Structure 1
Amino acid sequence: MTETRLPLEDVRVIELGTLLAGPFSGRLLGDFGAEVIKVEPPGMSDPMRNWGKSKDGVGLWWPIQSRNKKSITLNLREEEGQKVLKELVKEADVLIENFRPGTMEKWNLSYETLSEVNPKLIMVRTSGYGQTGPYKHRAGFGSVGEAMGGLRNVTGFPDRPPSRIGISIGDTLTALFATIGCLVALHERKHSGRGQVVDTALYESVFSIMESIIPDYLLAGYVRERMGNILPGVAPSNIYFTKDKTYIVIGANADGVFRRLCEAMNQPELADDPRFSTHNGRGENMKLLDSMIEEWTKSLPAKEALAILEEKGVPSGLIYTAKDILEDPHYQEREMIIKVDHPELGEFPMPGIVPKLSRTPGEVKHPGPEVMGKHNHEVYQKLLGFTEERLRELQEKNII
């Protein structure tokens, strides 16, 4: 039985910054109930509102990236706007920012300054290179972080230039690590009563998932390069063409799984063939083994081949498009495509919540606020107690 209270309902987050890395952290916290107050400069919206495809003039990325958030406007470049932010900080648990290092300090909003206002504040800082080091002042985007972190060098095919993965993986990886850091700091605060800085860099977040590339180089003299769809020395693990001119993925590199693959192919003798009976043997004879497997897959339509592989317990699957995802019953059963009411577009489909919690699962209450400053009155009047007169003054001065 699930409970109605979300696990982060007692956490208030101020989200500064734009685009992906910082705001994606805000989205993750908001999915589990945190009150996320997104700040945008008056007249200068987050570019994410207009990125990607659109429908009837409405950007289709923004409602996902900013779901569950409240939107206020505030000019942090002006002293009065900085004072307003400090009033917000008094009521907050977390502040997320992803400006270039030094920007918050330039605005007199350093962690030292804000922690004087609220010693319990956790400041989640996301940047290209981190808050320290010789590169800290450089501009950094996810693409550069992916390159410097080593990911681009191993992505693509060996006879072609380094490739992009196809999504903004550097930004979202960094947001995931930043969110982990935020939750760790919130947990630690229960013991110390004090906040701290969570410093997350794009290049470090990418580098941290790069497996063994450093000992590979230093201890084995091996530089991992682009290998296309294969895993060096690990076979079979590849994509294979089928009779109906599509590709399927098969991963059967463990001894037991490989034996089951051989049975699925009606060639059980391959499992005992000295060329393929060991992990190292399969790695050394990868090209030959892959050609034999593809000879089998090309004789069958993809669904038939996958049905046989599933029956034998061999990890395999189609390479999904958006259409495949929408039609898949497993996605549907696990509520990975949810529909949220959008004020302009009606029923709006978006990815469900990850991870699944058994007792206090997350929830998407609404898509990203369609209007900048939609929650100005709610936040400034109800939370901070501003009068109508003060709100008018701030608007006239272009502070909000």
Structure 2
Amino acid sequence: MTQAIQRRGGPLQGVRVVELTKVWAGPYTGKLLAFLGAEVIRIESEKSLDVTRVYGVDDINNAPGFKSVNPQKLSVQIDMKSEAGIDLILKLLRESDILIENLRPGAVKRLGLGYDAVKAVKPDIVYTSMGMYGNEGPLSYQTGYAPCFAALSGLSSLVGYEGQPPAGMNVRYADSTFGAAAAFATMAALFHRRRTGEGQYVDVSAVESMSSMIGDSLMDYTLNGAVQPCDGNRNPDMAPHGVYPCLDDEWVCIAVNDDRRWQALARIMTPSGLENDSRFNRLADRKQNEKALNELISRWASTQNAQTLASELQALGIAASKSQSSVDLVADGQLWAREFYREVAYSDGSSGTIVGPGWKMSRNADITSGAPRLGEHNAYILGDVLGLSPEEQQQLCSAGVTR
């Protein structure tokens, strides 16, 4: 008999997810579902360790990269290159609701875990496949990592200072955006199943996920042939909109989205009448004279304390914030108060802090466990979930199937 799924509350309580994922984007999808209350099971093995478990570390169970993207998950060791291992995975999928995979194109089919094979044992499975170009089309055979996603989508070409060549996008933005898109699509398919009883095959493209972030630029090129150059921190609907140097090598972010707030900013900058300067009265005027505007604000801000200035501007209803370092972020009392950071426990008795969910809900899921040790939950998954006796588990381990 299958044991009831471990329950932690949250909207996905009672949902079981199986992960056949590597590196960051796929595991990030599972992480978001785990934060919503799902029981998320990673399939791992000694023969095929995730690069985040081994890169630059001596202890595969204490790898920062792995621990950051796999909290609140379970780990079971199953060799996917063995026939007995594939049989175990199919049995596990029969007891599951969702499969997430981001292996190399065609890998799951070659293993015998393609959608048709999984659907045969679990007709209503939600099967989410994540690839650089998805699973259809002339480029679907290609694989890649986050820098490829950002570059091929066109996003990296927009990231850079005005008048300079592109500087490229932070590597993690692409993985987390792709992972979040896959989680959203998975949720939509799960809700469809709850209404209709039908499972779905969800095909998610990393490049398409990233290009959806710059839809306005893509449409401008498609309709008008316009290629948008790098423009630093400028925003077509705001001025000023930028990051400005302050005292002690700190910076402040300021964004003004209407003329009333510009007037408030102008009065605090120079009581001598900058708010009446015709170059900056309206948004169109400020955009036309944006270089001069930014120079004025930079000179003024350079005499100010970043945190004090941000607080003063916020009190006037102006969007502003000190540009925060990693230390600033970890020390931010508001983030702690909102439970953005969570304390979790590890099976060795230690504890640590993780970045929690970016949301607050009326039915939050408990988040108490850190990333699992390799095979930490073998006994629960092989025994309680799949119903294998201790003797059968030992035989599989001795044969290398569950190592």
TM over 0.5: yes
1:396 aligns with 2:398: yes
Shift of residue 25, structure 1, vs aligned partner: 0.8
Partner of 2:350: 346
Q: Please say if residues 244 and 300 of structure 1, whose CA atoms lie closer than 8 Å, have aligned partners that are also in contact.
A: no
1:73 aligns with 2:77: yes
CA distance in 2 between partners of 1:52 and 1:6 (Å) = 35
> What SS class does the counterpart of residue 244 from structure 1 fall into?
helix
Out of 303, 310, 314, which is 2:307 matched to? 303
Partner of 1:243: 247
Shift of residue 95, structure 1, vs aligned partner: 0.5
CA distance in 2 between partners of 1:262 and 1:170 (Å) = 37
> What SS class does the counterpart of residue 391 from structure 2 fall into?
helix
CA distance in 2 between partners of 1:127 and 1:334 (Å) = 34
CA distance in 2 between partners of 1:219 and 1:30 (Å) = 41
Q: Please say if residues 264 and 312 of structure 1, whose CA atoms lie closer than 8 Å, have aligned partners that are also in contact.
A: no
Q: 1:316-370 CA deviation, whole Å, 9 max, x = no partner? A: 111111211122221121121222223458331111222110x211331200112
Alignment of 1:1-400 (within 5 A): 5-51=9-55, 58-158=62-162, 160-231=164-235, 234-267=238-271, 269-344=273-348, 346-357=350-361, 359-370=362-373, 372-400=374-402
Letter in 2 for 1:145: F
Shift of residue 243, structure 1, vs aligned partner: 3.0
CA distance in 2 between partners of 1:204 and 1:27 (Å) = 21
Q: Please say if residues 356 and 362 of structure 1, whose CA atoms lie closer than 8 Å, have aligned partners that are also in contact.
A: no
Structure 2: 5+ residue stretches without partners: 1-6
Letter in 1 for 2:31: R
Percent identity, please.
28
Q: Please say if residues 35 and 365 of structure 2, whose CA atoms lie closer than 8 Å, have aligned partners that are also in contact.
A: yes
Shift of residue 233, structure 1, vs aligned partner: 7.1
CA distance in 1 between partners of 2:398 and 2:341 (Å) = 43
CA distance in 2 between partners of 1:347 and 1:54 (Å) = 19
Structure 1: 5+ residue stretches without partners: none
CA distance in 1 between partners of 2:174 and 2:187 (Å) = 20
Deviates more, 1:201-210 or 1:257-266: 257-266
CA distance in 1 between partners of 2:368 and 2:91 (Å) = 27
CA distance in 1 between partners of 2:192 and 2:36 (Å) = 19
Q: 1:299-319 CA deviation, whole Å, 9 max, x = no partner? A: 222233223212322111111
Q: CA RMSD in A?
A: 2.2
CA distance in 1 between partners of 2:210 and 2:279 (Å) = 36
Q: Please say if residues 17 and 99 of structure 1, whose CA atoms lie closer than 8 Å, have aligned partners that are also in contact.
A: yes
TM-score (norm 1): 0.93
> What SS class does the counterpart of residue 58 from structure 1 fall into?
coil
Q: Kindly tell me: are residues 119 and 314 of structure 1, through their superposed partners in 2, closer, same or farther at Cα, counting changes over 3 Å?
A: same
CA distance in 1 between partners of 2:57 and 2:212 (Å) = 32
Shift of residue 63, structure 1, vs aligned partner: 2.1
Letter in 2 for 1:128: M
Q: 1:221-271 CA deviation, whole Å, 9 max, x = no partner? A: 421122223235742101111233321111114212211111221347333
CA distance in 1 between partners of 2:236 and 2:97 (Å) = 46
CA distance in 2 between partners of 1:396 and 1:348 (Å) = 34
Q: Kindly tell me: are residues 104 and 262 of structure 1, through their superposed partners in 2, closer, same or farther at Cα, counting changes over 3 Å?
A: same
Q: Please say if residues 157 and 168 of structure 2, whose CA atoms lie closer than 8 Å, have aligned partners that are also in contact.
A: no
CA distance in 1 between partners of 2:8 and 2:127 (Å) = 29
CA distance in 2 between partners of 1:186 and 1:57 (Å) = 32
Q: Please say if residues 30 and 36 of structure 1, whose CA atoms lie closer than 8 Å, have aligned partners that are also in contact.
A: yes
Letter in 2 for 1:258: W
Letter in 1 for 2:346: H
Shift of residue 157, structure 1, vs aligned partner: 2.1
CA distance in 2 between partners of 1:63 and 1:164 (Å) = 26
CA distance in 1 between partners of 2:68 and 2:363 (Å) = 21
Moved beyond 6 Å, runs of 4+: 52-57
Letter in 2 for 1:26: G
TM-score (norm 2): 0.92
Shift of residue 218, structure 1, vs aligned partner: 3.2
Q: Kindly tell me: are residues 37 and 298 of structure 1, through their superposed partners in 2, closer, same or farther at Cα, counting changes over 3 Å?
A: same
Q: Please say if residues 233 and 284 of structure 1, whose CA atoms lie closer than 8 Å, have aligned partners that are also in contact.
A: no
Partner of 2:4: none
CA distance in 1 between partners of 2:65 and 2:231 (Å) = 32
Q: 1:95-119 CA deviation, whole Å, 9 max, x = no partner? A: 0100122111111211111111111
Q: 1:121-144 CA deviation, whole Å, 9 max, x = no partner? A: 011111111010101111221111
CA distance in 1 between partners of 2:349 and 2:338 (Å) = 24
Deviates more, 1:332-341 or 1:154-163: 154-163
